[in-house]
Amino acid sequence: MLKKGINQLIKKYDFQNFLYIKGEDPWFVLFFKDNKKFSSSQIKTYYTKQIIKYGVFTNGTHNINYCHNPKIINKILNAYEKTFKDLKNALLNNNLNKQLQNEEIKPIFKVR
């Protein structure tokens, strides 16, 4: 239910070119790619800041268990809806960097 809902929101906001989900229930991860104007780390930083602002503490990973009842799933999806709406506006207005208000998240490990 959560994975399906997030995928629907990715399509609704036309983010398929730089956001996608990998993994199967009960564990899946949201991945970020560069888009035309912003790096994957800039987008992920903005996403993380916004999703936390809306009450969901995640960096894009979801480990679903029996505690995730429909009420919790709807809360998470509502936070995604608000976050994706904000992200869409930041991308359209070309001001994502201004809205970061902190350094972007950088990967600790790199593939050689």
pLDDT in tens, 13-52: 999 999 999 999 899 999 999 998 999 999 999 999 999 9
What is the chain's mean pLDDT, rounded? 93
Q: What are the φ/ψ torsions at residue 33 (nearest 5 degrees)?
A: -125, 160
Query: What's the pLDDT band for 112 if we cut at 50, 70, 90?
Result: low
Total structural domains within the chain = 1
Q: What's the Cα-to-Cα distance from 29 to each of 25, 59, 95, 102, rounded to whole Å?
A: 10, 9, 26, 24
This prediction has a pTM of 0.92
User: Is 77 contained in some domain?
Assistant: yes
Task: For residue 9, give its domain range.
Answer: 2-100
Rounded average pLDDT over 66-72: 93
User: Is 52 contained in some domain?
Assistant: yes
Domain harbouring 51, CATH code? 3.90.1150.10
